[in-house]
Amino acid sequence: MTRLTDHHEAGRVDRWAVTDAPEDYVAAMLRGIVGVEVRLTRLEGKRKLSQNRPDDAAAVRSTLAAGTPGEQAVAAAMTDLSG
């Protein structure tokens, strides 16, 4: 729980730590945490890139194209879909 919390709080200015909570609270929360394993038999992905809204899509593409490499890749995918 500490590793997971530290990971998700890493980017915050006022980080929360497990040690900030009372021990009895942490103990109660830990009793409620269970692990689950799921075996995938099929995985289906879909992209919703505003292709049904061309006016909005153009503005979104323009904004994404000026962003990070990941955002630029999404803009390129949107362009490929729109022709």
CB 62 within 8 A of CB 48: no
Closest C-alpha among 42, 59, 39 to residue 50: 59
In 10 A of CB 50, how many CB atoms? Answer: 16
**How crowded is the C-beta side of 55, counted as CA atoms within 13 Å?**
0
Between CA 62 and CA 71 the distance in angstroms is 10
Per residue in 3-34, pLDDT (tens digit) is 999 999 998 999 999 999 999 999 999 999 99
Q: What is the mean pLDDT of residues 71-79?
A: 89
